Amino acid sequence: MKLNLTRPLVIFDLETTGLDIATARIIQISYIIAYPDGHEEPYNTFVNPERPIPHEVQELTHITDEMVKQAPTFKQLATTLASKFQGCDFAGYNSNNYDIPLLSEEFLRAGINFDFSQAHLIDACAIFKQMEKRNLAAAYKFYCGRKMEDDFQAHLADQDTAATWQVLQAQLDMYAPGKQEEKERQLENSIEALAKASQVGRPTVDFAGRLVYDEQGNEIVNFGKYKGMKVQDVFTRDPGYYGWVQQADFTQNTKLAFKKLWLKYARR
């Protein structure tokens, strides 16, 4: 269905050096500007991040340091992009959580305070989650083919437990290797495979996700002023931080995780 536009819409995506908005840099920007009169203007360019691209990012995106070496920096592109984007709305996938904040950061680093508050920000991922519910009743209908209220009384623990068990078994049936051609949609019938498939985002040290592991297995602070730093480095820089965590309003599980790491690193 054709979208009703009253002003230009920038549909865009970024490839970047990482996931931390404060430290990541853009290595590719691609957009299509859809205009109210129906015509579209595509644009795509690599961007020189002025720093090495992490190996895991190169493997994921297939964008290498050599490919961006002669590309313009974001600062060189910023004035033109800001002019092109002026008066536009924006759309992306998970863009409200990541792409828009990072694009704003890059503009600010280039000395341009681009005002996204005047634009409508459309996120197809958020719409997907809003329209296609991910609660137990929706999962039961999707995987088992029946309305949960026809078989169970919702919000009773024993009923929800039984429904969850049926959903899990139906997932194994649906994603069995013989029924799915794409390997990424195949689910091995083992506890280990199910546990791996249940992980979303970085593995966490504590249940609340205040501490996460990086690709090398280092414990990383995942909140506040030290977000993105190794816990060991934080303890070295700010020994009082551990005491603050123990007095703050965190879960006991999080405090215990910090305590174990304090005992692990403080004596080194």
DSSP one-letter string for 206-236: STTSSEEE-TTS-EEE-SGGGTTSBHHHHHH
Q: Are residues 106 and 187 in the same domain?
A: no
Residue 104, both tokens: 């704003």
Enclosing domain of residue 259: 211-265
Which residues, in sequence order, are CB contacts of 167 under 8 Å at separation 6+? 136, 139, 140, 143, 144
pLDDT digit string, tens, across residues 213-235? 998 999 999 999 999 999 999 99
Q: Are residues 221 and 191 in the same domain?
A: no
Is 206 inside a domain boundary? no
Is 254 inside a domain boundary? yes
Domain termination residue (choose one: 92, 107, 128): 128
pLDDT digit string, tens, across residues 99-123? 999 999 999 999 999 999 889 999 9
Q: Are residues 144 and 253 in the same domain?
A: no
Q: How confident is the model at residue 267 (pLDDT cuts 50, 70, 90)?
A: low
Q: What's residue 134's pLDDT?
A: 87
Q: How confident is the model at residue 21 (pLDDT cuts 50, 70, 90)?
A: confident
Q: How many domains does the chain have?
A: 3
Q: What's residue 44's pLDDT?
A: 95
Q: What's residue 79's pLDDT?
A: 97
Mean pLDDT of the chain: 92
In the predicted model, what is the mean pLDDT of residues 15-31?
92
Q: Are residues 217 and 123 in the same domain?
A: no
In the predicted model, what is the mean pLDDT of residues 129-154?
90
Q: What's residue 70's pLDDT?
A: 96
Whole-angstrom distance, CA of residue 203 vs CA of residue 65: 28
Q: Are residues 101 and 186 in the same domain?
A: no
Which residues, in sequence order, are CB contacts of 174 under 8 Å at separation 6+? 143, 180
Residue 98, both tokens: 């990541």
Q: Are residues 72 and 97 in the same domain?
A: yes
Q: Are residues 160 and 249 in the same domain?
A: no
Whole-angstrom distance, CA of residue 85 vs CA of residue 50: 24
CATH number assigned to the domain comprising residue 53: 3.30.420.10
Q: Are residues 48 and 26 in the same domain?
A: yes
Is 3 inside a domain boundary? no
Domain termination residue (choose one: 105, 128, 151): 128
Q: How confident is the model at residue 248 (pLDDT cuts 50, 70, 90)?
A: very high
Give the global pTM: 0.69
Of these ranges, 1-10, 62-71, 183-192, the one predicted with the greatest mean pLDDT is: 62-71
